């Protein structure tokens, strides 16, 4: 399930499919549930406000770790 509040999203799932948030250029934050284990290809392609370009968007473990490190407590 995906819940949107303004430009913020939260969800409860184990996987996000390919291109799920691609081209979401205004997306700045997201709550990552502990259940998230797998990302499809290019989930955050061209979503640089959320995932900076220094992180390889195809390195799913790095993306998940980054998102967990910036989420609000």
What pTM did the predictor assign? 0.63
pLDDT digits (tens, 9 = 90+) for 7-53: 666 666 788 889 988 898 888 877 777 778 888 888 888 887 877 77
Q: What is the pLDDT of residue 72?
A: 56
**For 1-73, where are the alpha helices, taking DSSP H only?**
60-70
Both structure tokens of 45? 């392609």
- Indicate the domain borders of the chain: 2-70
Contact 50, 28 (CB under 8 A): yes
Cβ neighbours of residue 24 closer than 8 Å, sequence gap 6 or more:
44, 47, 50
Q: How many helices (H) and strands (E) does the chain have?
A: 1, 5
Q: What CA–CA distance (Å, rounded) separates 5 from 66?
A: 21
């Amino acid at each position: 399930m995906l819940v949107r509040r303004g430009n913020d999203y939260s969800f409860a799932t184990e996987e996000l499919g390919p291109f799920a948030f691609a081209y979401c250029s205004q997306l700045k934050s997201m709550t990552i549930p502990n259940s998230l284990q797998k990302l499809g290809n290019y989930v955050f392609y061209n979503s640089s406000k959320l995932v900076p370009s220094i992180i390889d968007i195809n390195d799913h473990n790095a993306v998940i770790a980054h998102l967990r490190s910036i989420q609000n407590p």
